[in-house]
Amino acid sequence: MKITCIKSDLVKSTNIVMKAVSSKTTMPILESILIEAENGYIKFTGNDMEMAIETIVKGNIEEEGTILVDAKMFYEFVRKMPSDEITVESSDSIVTLTSGKSEIKLSLKDKDEFPAIKKIEKNNKITISQFTLREMIRQTIISISSNESSRLMTGELFEINDNEFKITSLDGFRISIRKVYLNESYPHIKVVIPGKTLNEIIKIINGDIDDMVNIYFDDKHVLFEFDDTIVLSRLIEGEYYKIDQMLSGDYETKIKINKEQLFGSIDRASLLIRDSEKKPIIFNVNEENVKIEINTSLGSMDEDIDISKEGTDIMIAFNPKFLMDALRVIDDEEINMYFINSKAPFFIKNDEGSYIYLIVPVKLNAVM
């Protein structure tokens, strides 16, 4: 095999497939990148058995062939090559990288040991803009759990009903939901996609509103197809949690508040919290304002923010990180917050219902 590529194209493509290269594995072969040059295409592949990524690389093919190289070593040398053009040439068990006056030789691995990517039927699919998909994931990924003992919580629920597309995540303390309406209607789809996959997806897609993503589903896999790249991932199996009963429209108190003022106040209050203390913030809603209070071993804060309110006064306590995470991903200037009582989860949602963030409070008698 012999190919010549522009350095920036090679770096970009290698970086994409590196996201599916295993860094901690009992199978060293998964620490590799498969490079194929055939039929006029240069294709790079990474596969950690849970997620696989293929991407087409721009370049000139002088001799067709297939090689398997150590991913990290290849990427680091490509990134640090001195010239804007790099030639990759293989011979026997060696691949040579040439750039300017630099020549690097790396050992090849047995390409026949590299696991092939599963081919799925491209039947069940939806089409959505890269911008919309990236925003929906960005605005919900905050609520996935890192606890592998609750596998379903480490992923996000993708649900399609006709032209309604909804993404849901939860970690036991909060729920995040984003909903949009697609340009077409589709058969019902309900799957749980690993958070790891979705985190990598939003790093790869360009996010342009005019560029589209095709998403294909089968019983065990999801395939994202966009630009010159495909990402294949296993699904998380199991019945997702029933959360509809937690999303009741009933409430005793509703407030409208400036998002940036609220975020700034909670951010300041958080400076008084030691990691070991895990102190909650007290949210005291009265007729004209909300009083944000905290008292820790480092000091105390008492701050008022003007609001418009419907319903009764309420005092509630919560983990400030959970609310700040939600506020960071909401684009609205003002938000609506709904409260039932001091023990029930409160939620933030807009009038259209395109986003909902639910947060479980902390018991007041535990902090007062």
DSSP secondary structure, 13-34, as one string:
HHHHHHTTS-SS-S-GGGGEEE
| 116 has pLDDT over 80 | yes
Look at 163-172, 237-246, 266-275, 293-302 and tell me which has the smallest mean pLDDT: 237-246
Alpha-carbon span 140 to 1, nearest angstrom: 44
User: What confidence score (pLDDT) does residue 328 get?
Assistant: 97
Closest CA to 125 of 37, 186, 77: 186
- pLDDT at residue number 274: 86
* pLDDT band of 365, cuts 50, 70, 90: low
Q: Is the pLDDT of residue 69 over 60?
A: yes
User: How many Cβ atoms sit within 10 Å of the Cβ of residue 150?
Assistant: 13
Q: Is 34:45 a contact under the CB 8 Å cutoff?
A: yes
Residue 113 has pLDDT above 70, yes or no: yes
Neighbours of 321 (CB within 10 A): 16
- Listed residue (56, 40, 33, 4) closest to 228, CA to CA: 56
d(CA 259, CA 96): 55
- What is the mean pLDDT of the segment spanning 230-239? 96
Q: Is the pLDDT of residue 254 over 60?
A: yes
DSSP alpha helix (H) spans, 247-294:
259-270
**Measured distance CA(254)–CA(307) in Å, rounded:** 10
pLDDT of residue 247: 81
Which residue type sits at 231?
Answer: V
Task: Extract the tokens encoding 149.
Answer: 């003992």
Cβ proximity of 161 and 183 under 8 Å:
no
User: In the chain, what are the domains?
Assistant: 2-113 (3.10.150.10), 124-244 (3.10.150.10), 248-366 (3.10.150.10)
**Buried b / exposed e across 29-42, counting CB within 10 Å, b at 16+?**
bbbbbbbbbeeeeb
Question: Average pLDDT over the chain, rounded to whole?
Answer: 94
Composition of the chain by helix, strand, coil, percent to 5: 25, 45, 30
Using DSSP, state whether 48 is helix, strand or coil. coil
Comparison of pLDDT for 242 and 99, the residue scoring more: 99
Residue tagged 């000091």 (tokens): 299
CA–CA separation, 246 and 200 (whole Å): 30
pLDDT digits (tens, 9 = 90+) for 82-104: 999 999 999 989 999 999 999 99
Is the pLDDT score of 367 beyond 70? Answer: no
Global confidence as pTM = 0.93
Distance between CA 208 and CA 203 in Å, rounded? Answer: 13
pLDDT-above-90 percentage for the chain: 86
